[in-house]
Structure 1
């Protein structure tokens, strides 16, 4: 990969984050977080959490205790995970796979072999049932390859985890790893791009987009809207 290609990929990453993550966060997640029916409110805990956070249990404090974990945690993490394949597609045109159960195909920069890859967001983003699904998909691809006399080995079927460290991989990923390789974070991006520091360049590039965003006004508006609903229902 030459410098021009590298710069274009980083530019694409920043634009993707602006368009797909930031806009969805503001116009989607924050709007949903301003509506009380979006929450499964625990009547035994919501006043406690409000007091724990702010020292009082006014409707605004309750709203703040509900909104902040939602828009700064679960919603953005879920959104990112759902858009992983779109992210890769936007960065690396032509890598998308037509093979069932496979997200992308690429030539591994380390061993030079074609990889059939399922993409996952982070080190804790699969569950017990996903393990069987992943292994079955990979087994199916290998069986089809044998039928068509294609040289596809066990190590050519991989799970690519976009961010994280090997030590952070959940037990579910480790179960997949008993049958097929799981590459995470720096190692995954190195194999994909041929640059051993590309993972950190990508993190820095997306971090630059964060400096463009000030969501404080949106957060406060979300909290005030939810506080009004809480006051109407509980006060």
Structure 2
């Protein structure tokens, strides 16, 4: 029987150890201006736009916020998806080339061969062809081995998001190649059999966010970045 509590526990542990700690480490190194590709014009403008002045602290803040709340987080989660698969969904691991996990679909009862993706905008044009190629190879192999595998059993599972969030590249997998893409609530429902599991997973990860209060340390990063000669010089040009 599927241990949903263990999946939630493992997901929480993964998010703490592999995501939150990496996020903190990546933030702490941003005390060095060389970590940024600074546009001297827009940095001063954005500092005034955000805070009403272009003090070193204001400039440091507008440099840090996009990295800390945007690209850094996306990169960490995207590169960690394989580790998430191994540590959280390891019991579903597949030995089939091009397939991340295999599981019995709790909605239709058929075995699914799944490639996992992190979010609704994480593939490009080339990825569509790569995914379709892997799935075609699996179908050919199944025929050789007299196994029942249809297009409907080869799926892309997107860990978070909603169907309306899916990029056009994901939609092409279904429209052009006829492979289902299950995202967010539907993916986790099919995996666990629990239509509420996705919400439970978000709650579990949300509890990590509460514990990961980095506000005081972030203020210290701002102060140290603002104290560098490069940022002071940029501020003086206002």
Q: TM-score scaled to structure 2, two decimals?
A: 0.91
Unmatched 5+ residue regions in structure 1? none
Give the gaps of 5 or more residues in structure 2.
none
Partner of 1:69: 66
- Alignment-derived partner of residue 231 in structure 1: 231
Count of residue pairs brought into register by the alignment: 232
Q: Secondary structure of 2:53's partner?
A: coil
Check if 1:196 corresponds to 2:212: no
Matched, 1:25 2:23: yes
Counterpart secondary structure, 1:211: helix
Partner of 1:49: 46
**SS across alignment from 1:94:** helix
Q: For 1:207-222, what aligned pairs fall within 5 Å after superposition?
A: 207-222=206-221
User: CA shift at 1:176, angstroms?
Assistant: 0.9
Which deviates more, 146-155 or 45-54?
146-155
Cα deviation digits, residues 154-195 of structure 1 (max 9, x gap) = 111110001111111111110111221000000000011111
Distance 2:162 2:87 in 1: 24
Q: Any idea what the Cα deviations from partners look like across 1:114-133, whole Å, max 9, x if unmatched?
A: 11111111111111221111
Name the residue aligned to 2:4. 6
CA distance in 1, matches of 2:89, 2:130: 26
Aligned-residue Cα RMSD (Å) equals: 1.6
**Partner SS state of residue 44, structure 1:** helix
Residue 232 of structure 1 and its aligned partner are, at CA, apart by 5.6
Alignment of 1:112-151 (within 5 A): 112-151=109-148
Inter-partner Cα distance in structure 1 for 2:185 and 2:205: 15
Structure 1 counterpart SS, 2:90: coil
TM superposition shift of 1:209: 1.6
Partner Cα separation in structure 1 for residue 118 and residue 89 of structure 2: 17
- Structure-2 change in CA distance of 1:228 and 1:215 (3 Å): same
Write the mapping of 1:148-167 to structure 2, written as runs, cut at 5 A: 148-167=145-164
Quote the Cα distance in structure 1 between the aligned partners of 2:29 and 2:130.
32
Q: Could you tell me how far apart the structure 2 residues matched to 1:228 and 1:188 are? A: 47
Alpha-carbon deviation of 1:46?
A: 0.9
Asked if 1 retains the 8 angstrom alpha-carbon contact of 2:60 and 2:231, the reply is no
Preserved CA contact (<8 Å) 1:127 1:172:
yes
